[in-house]
Amino acid sequence: MAMELRDIGPPDYKKFLHPVILKNYGKWVKHENVRPGVIKHISETGDVVFTVRAGIPKFISSDGVRFLCDLADKYCDGYLRFTMRHNIEFIVVKEENVEKLIKELEDAGYPVGGTEHSLKAIINCVGYVHCNMAATDSPSIAKALYEALYDYFKKTDLPERIKIAVSGCLNMCGATNASDIAIIGMHTKPPKVIDEIVHAQCSPIDLVKICPTYAIKPKKVKKNGKMIDSVSIDEEKCMYCGNCYAVCPGLPIHDPENDGVSIWVGGKASMTKQGLMESRLLVPFIPNHPPKWEKIVEIVKKIIDVYIENAMPDERLGEMIERIGWEKFFELVDVPFTYQHIDDFVFAYRDYRKGISFRFTKHVK
């Protein structure tokens, strides 16, 4: 095989930029939100480009892609892009093409929207479709949420944008750690130890190093008459992270009865206003309930209702919660506050409420 084809790096992006974009590269001075899903970019040269944003599925067949290419050929001189939230964006230079393109997209079932203060595309990881770690199935959860929240994607009248992300496990592929609403798959039982596989395929010493809570210890065990190396797991210490299973198939952690999801709120990744905010735990555990995920949908809808009712203009969910206080938010969404909500990990001290700056809620009798 030709080694000169190794390490060529990414293709030259300039080849893929519409000539109007190339000409106005770095010269944009203004944008206008023409309608949901459509942004008009205006250059200092007077040139104009419209981007038309549509939702696409996480997994797309080559025929699906070809269909989108057909549209881009018809209305975009063959140029398109994908966004940081995995939407497709059509590059339209002729204004009259905008509505035509939208019509074709909508007719084919691709919703146009997701700009300004709308529900943005729901980021989700591969889940059961390609991952060995998944404690829950993110793609189907995202689908269930999309159905319930569809209209919010197409309108722009939320107080601010809402970003939802779904990760199949606490590896948090995607930006679940800083999303307005995050759904994260959770195990709730330690891995089982299959000594033979650990012995045959894994390194006990590496396992000891990898466990964040020091729950793994090397052990010797008798199997078929001879002593073999394996590990033991301290069930008191294990926090079900799956790190060990990721490197060692002898420690299976999947458990249909006890795997499920947690719901997190209030994260935000941009530097605006008070800056970065982490997602915080709202619901520690709901057992897996595909394919409709009714319970998740119900709670997310409730969160959004509370958000719409209580947020000030331009206020993200997390900003609103910080303003009214987490204790009030728990009261409003009516979710129980439990032991799991209180951090007990390395930086736990950071979140203890120093002083008395709290509000009274029904939690205080």
Partner 1 sequence: MTSILDELKKGRWPSFVKELEKTGDERIVKYYEKCLKDKKPYFGHGGIVGVTGYEAGVIGRVAVGEAAKILPEFHLFRILPPAGYFYTTDVLRKICDWVDKWGCKLLNFHGATYNLQAFGIPRDKLDPAFEELAKIGFDLGGSGPDVRTAACCMGPALCEWALIDTLDIYTTLMKEYIFDIHRPRFPYKFKIKISGCPNDCTASGARSDLAVIGIWRDDIKIDEDALKKYKDEELEMVAKRCPSGAITYKNGKFEINNDACTRCMYCINVLHDALKPGDDRGASILIGARARGRYGAFLAWVLVPFMKLEPPYKELKELIDKILDWWDEHGNPKERVGETIYRIGFGKFLKDIGIEPKPQMVYRPRSNPFWKYF
Range 212-271, binding a second copy (CB under 8 A)? 271
Cα–Cα separations (whole angstroms), residue 18 to 43, 51, 315: 14, 12, 35
Q: Which CB sits closer to partner 1, 10 or 225?
A: 10
Task: State which H helix or E strand residue 301 sits in.
Answer: helix 294-310
Q: Per CB under 6 A, which of residues 167..206 are in contact with ligand SF4?
A: 167-169, 171-173, 190-191
Binding residue (CB under 6 A) for ligand SF4 from 110, 152, 153, 240: 240
Q: How far is the CB of 289 from ligand SF4 (least distance, A)?
A: 17
Cα–Cα separations (whole angstroms), residue 67 to 60, 82, 87, 163, 217: 11, 15, 15, 28, 55
How many angstroms separate the CA atoms of 214 and 69, rounded?
A: 51
The residues, any chain, with a CB within 8 Å of residue 115's CB and separated by 6 or more, are 33, 36, 37, 38, 39, 53, 156
Q: Which CB sits closer to ligand SRM, 300 or 331?
A: 300
Peptide bond into 313 cis (omega under 30): no
How many angstroms separate the CA atoms of 208 and 307, rounded?
A: 44
Q: Which does 284 bind (CB under 5 to 8 A by kind): ligand SF4, ligand SRM, a second copy, none?
A: none
DSSP state of 164: E
> Residue 317, exposed/middle/buried by CB under 10 A (0-12, 13-18, 19+)?
buried
Q: How far is the CB of 28 from ligand SRM (least distance, A)?
A: 8
| Candidates 143-151, 166-174, 279-287, 328-336; binding stretch for ligand SF4 (CB under 6 A) | 166-174
Query: Tokens at residue 353, please?
Result: 């409420």
How many angstroms separate the CA atoms of 213 and 234, rounded?
A: 10
> Closest-CB residue for ligand SF4?
168
Bridge partners of 219?
230
Q: Which does 66 bind (CB under 5 to 8 A by kind): a second copy, partner 1, ligand SRM, none?
A: partner 1
344 in contact with a second copy (CB under 8 A): no
276 in contact with a second copy (CB under 8 A): yes
| Candidates 46-54, 129-137, 260-268, 335-343; binding stretch for ligand SF4 (CB under 6 A) | 129-137
CA dihedral sign of residues 162, 168, 169, 175: negative
Q: Please give the distance of CA 147 from its chain centroid, rounded to a whole number.
A: 17
Q: Per CB under 6 A, which of residues 90..129 are in contact with ligand SRM?
A: 114-116, 120-121, 125-126
- Bin 26: left if φ > 0, else alpha if -120 < ψ < 50, else beta: left
Q: Per CB under 6 A, which of residues 20..59 are in contact with ligand SRM?
A: 31, 39, 53
Q: Per CB under 6 A, which of residues 242..281 are in contact with ligand SF4?
A: 242-244, 253
Dihedrals φ, ψ of 87, to 5°?
-85, 165
The answer to whether the CB of 159 falls within 8 A of the CB of 307 is: yes
360 in contact with a second copy (CB under 8 A): no
| Candidates 72-80, 114-122, 133-141, 279-287; binding stretch for ligand SF4 (CB under 6 A) | 133-141
The residue among 176, 177, 152, 154 whose CA lies nearest residue 307 is: 152
Show the binding pattern over residues 183-222: x = contacts ligand SRM (CB under 6 A), - = does not.
----------------------------------------
Binding residue (CB under 6 A) for ligand SRM from 17, 42, 246, 324: 246
The residue among 23, 6, 108 whose CA lies nearest residue 64 is: 108
Show the binding pattern over residues 149-178: x = contacts partner 1 (CB under 8 A), - = does not.
-x-------------------xxxxxxxxx
132 in contact with ligand SRM (CB under 6 A): yes
Q: Which residues bind to a second copy, rule: CB under 8 A?
A: 271, 275-276, 346-347, 349-350, 354-357
Q: Which residues bind to ligand SRM, rule: CB under 6 A?
A: 31, 39, 53, 83-85, 87, 114-116, 120-121, 125-126, 130-133, 163, 171-175, 246, 268-270, 272, 316
Q: Which residues bind to ligand SF4, rule: CB under 6 A?
A: 125-127, 131, 133-134, 138, 167-169, 171-173, 190-191, 210-211, 213, 215-216, 233, 238-244, 253
